[in-house]
Amino acid sequence: MIAIAAQAAIAAEKFQFKSIHSNVATVSESIEIGDEPGHVIAMFQAKGVGVRQVGPEEAPYKIEIWGTGDYRDDGTGEEQGYGKFIFADGSSYYERWIGKVVDGQGKGTAVYFNGTGRFAGMKGGSKFECTSLGDRFVCDVEGTIEIP
């Protein structure tokens, strides 16, 4: 009985974290709008790996990303999409993200949902800053996860 009570107390937690996400675009399609030079809408898919730097220790995790963007020739734009994070134990969760691009640097926020395994019932979200390196992008992520 004591072991069950201690386990329940440990299960509920809220923590802050910082991670680095390194991603590569695996699919990228764009269409020029034609209303002004360099204005395109794009759809992309990416895969990557995340490494937690601050917060509970975690093995590197897999990342899958799907998104769309509306970009201008001056390096500005707006983006939105979804991501999935898959952990070594099989647990996962999704995010819905939105961001703005200025000078090729994306900044935005994400809300987490639909956790499985140890993330079942989770709540959370993050802020991110991403730097584009051609077909690759690296993101600094700071967020909070609350597990019931």
**3-class SS at 84?**
strand
Q: Is 34 left (phi over 0), alpha (psi -120 to 50) or beta?
A: left
For the whole model, what pTM was predicted?
A: 0.88
Give the residue among 73, 55, 75, 51 at the shortest CA–CA distance from 63.
Answer: 51
Mean pLDDT by 10-residue block, N- to C-terminus, for the chain (148 residues)? 36 91 97 96 98 96 98 95 98 98 94 97 98 94 96
Please give the pLDDT value at position 11: 59
Query: CB of 93 within 8 A of CB of 117?
Result: no
Give the residue among 20, 22, 83, 84 at the shortest CA–CA distance from 52.
Answer: 20
